[in-house]
């Protein structure tokens, strides 16, 4: 039986580990051809080999690229267009991180790096993919935000602002592109990744408390939790869904939008 993405071409940025790799795995298992990027050639080659072993009818191609550079992220889209003549799904997963600093000492370069590696990277990829999606009769875009866009934690103003901008970009594109049968949605994920593993190893108590505050008491699995969510958003079944923010955090973000000392007693119930 053909997979749900058989014959489809998908671009997933930053798919060598964590959520990006999890999404790419789900897509190739459902028959999609997947084009993905990474900055490091060794990681990209390793992920390409892994994904090709899982592929069910589609192809897998790695493009070495830094999404914070417009010409390079456009080259990732062009690999799909030049090789297969279409882009059915675009998942803007990659996001450049910067140092943690208070607003008063955070340099403009940090804000620019966060925007280039997140907001502009998503915008550039979307702009490059749009004409093909329009001409082929439709497509799907999935962007990535974070609960930090509205939680606004201290010392991460550049990251929070970037994610808030991505949410606004998503809604604007959904309004402008809906007439062309292009769906544009955004996911707020909370899942395990290489960064999460490093953080948990260095801060085991904090990582445990972070998961305990989640209604489902765990971080998401990149493939089965986040990958399946992204998969659903790029299939025909989701063709009437656009401009929406999906909580991919197991309820950690949208069921925990505010926090107060009164939450301490809930663990006793």
Q: What is the pLDDT of residues 93-147, one digit of tens each?
A: 999 887 889 999 999 999 999 999 999 999 999 999 999 999 999 999 999 999 8
Q: Answer whether residue 241 shows pLDDT above 90.
A: yes
> What number is the average pLDDT over the span 241-245?
97
Contact 260, 203 (CB under 8 A): no
Give percent of the chain with pLDDT exceeding 90.
75
Contact 15, 47 (CB under 8 A): yes
**pLDDT (tens digit, 9 = 90+) per residue, 25-42?**
999 999 999 999 999 999
Q: Answer whether residue 230 shows pLDDT above 60.
A: yes
Write out the catalytic residue numbers: 159
Looking at residue 39, its pLDDT comes to 95
Domain ranges (residues) in the chain: 9-193+221-250
> What number is the average pLDDT over the span 79-90?
98
Contact 96, 114 (CB under 8 A): yes
Looking at residue 53, its pLDDT comes to 98
Question: What is the C-alpha to C-alpha distance for residues 142 and 242, in angstroms, rounded to an integer?
Answer: 10
Question: What is the C-alpha to C-alpha distance for residues 140 and 129, in angstroms, rounded to an integer?
Answer: 10
Question: What is the C-alpha to C-alpha distance for residues 39 and 10, in angstroms, rounded to an integer?
Answer: 19
Query: Given this structure, which CATH class describes domain 9-193+221-250?
Result: alpha beta
Q: Answer whether residue 79 shows pLDDT above 90.
A: yes
CA 153 to chain centre: 20
Global model pTM greater than 0.85: yes
Q: What is the mean pLDDT of the chain?
A: 91
Burial 198-208 (b: 16+ CB within 10 A, else e): eebeeeeeebe
């Amino acid at each position: 039986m053909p997979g749900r993405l058989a014959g489809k071409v998908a671009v997933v940025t930053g798919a060598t580990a964590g959520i990006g790799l999890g999404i790419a795995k789900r897509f190739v298992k459902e028959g999609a051809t997947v084009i993905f990027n990474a900055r490091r050639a060794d990681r990209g080659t390793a992920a390409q080999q892994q994904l090709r072993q899982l592929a069910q009818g589609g192809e897998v191609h790695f493009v070495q690229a830094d999404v914070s550079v417009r010409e390079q992220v456009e080259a990732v889209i062009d690999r799909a267009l030049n090789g297969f003549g279409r882009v059915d799904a675009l998942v803007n997963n990659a996001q450049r991180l910067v140092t943690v600093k208070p607003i008063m000492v955070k340099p403009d370069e940090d804000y620019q790096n966060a925007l280039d590696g997140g907001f502009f990277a998503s915008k550039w990829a979307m702009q490059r993919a749009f004409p093909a999606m329009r001409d082929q009769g439709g497509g799907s875009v999935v962007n990535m935000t974070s609960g930090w866009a509205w939680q606004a934690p201290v010392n991460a103003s550049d990251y929070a602002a970037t994610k808030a901008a991505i949410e606004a970009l998503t809604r604007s594109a959904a309004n402008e592109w809906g007439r062309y049968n292009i769906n544009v949605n955004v996911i707020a994920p909370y899942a395990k990744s290489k960064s999460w593993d490093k953080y948990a190893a260095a801060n085991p108590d904090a990582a445990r408390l972070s998961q305990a505050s989640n209604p489902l008491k765990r971080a998401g699995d990149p493939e089965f939790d986040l990958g399946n969510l992204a998969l659903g958003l790029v299939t025909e079944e989701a063709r009437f869904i656009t401009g929406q923010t999906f909580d991919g955090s197991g309820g950690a973000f949208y069921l925990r939008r505010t926090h107060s000392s009164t939450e301490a007693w809930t663990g006793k119930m």
